[in-house]
Structure 1
């Protein structure tokens, strides 16, 4: 699972560098997110801008990544492609996660 990450203003931005989050990579995604969340920032922004497809396993992996965070941490999502955004709407996961149109919007909202 190819994820890149960087910290900005005490927040961790994790970018998924693959076109799919599906059953093939779901466990790897969860494990990698566990490693990255251990870096400790209170807020993690997951950039899904390069993800064109997500299945139920991928969605479950993102939910699992959120649930494995410490109580002081939160996971926000950014840059959902139309297909991925539709999956979040259909499953009502858009009511569970805070979703931003892109990473700069997530930071602007945090600052404001």
Structure 2
């Protein structure tokens, strides 16, 4: 997991596999980064090619935490198979999802 500050948006780049091992290795890092920022957070999923149910729970927990602080967490770059999982699980109704990082950053500026 990599983080980058772009303007007032914290961009978090996810690793390629969000399986049980991947989630275990980044869950606390992600939560700490999100809670410390307290604002606009973009989770860049463009590298992710596998997502387990644990990862969905992790993302949802962080979405709720950000919203509780008055912030906004969005996703970008979902590959086709990951986007399908989000649609089937109805997670696409919970998150604002953008095709890529640039579109998401532009969305924050509007």
Of 15, 20, 38, 2:17 maps to 20
2:38–2:69: 8 Å Cα contact kept in structure 1? no
**Normalising by structure 1, what TM-score?**
0.88
Q: Which moved more, 1:48-57 or 1:27-36?
A: 27-36
Structure 2: how far apart are the matches of 1:34 and 1:105? 24
Q: Which runs of 4+ in 1 moved over 3 A?
A: none
Q: Which range is displaced more, 88-97 or 65-74?
A: 65-74
> How many residues are treated as equivalent by the alignment?
109
Pairwise CA distance, 1:41: 4.3
Provide Cα deviations, 1:64-85, integer angstroms capped at 9, x if missing partner.
Answer: 2222334211210000011111
User: Could you tell me the TM-score, scaled by structure 2's length?
Assistant: 0.90
Alignment of 1:1-112 (within 5 A): 3-16=1-14, 18-69=15-66, 70-112=68-110
Q: Give the CA RMSD over aligned residues.
A: 1.4
Of 97-106 and 53-62, deviating more is 53-62
Structure 2: runs of 5 or more not aligned = none
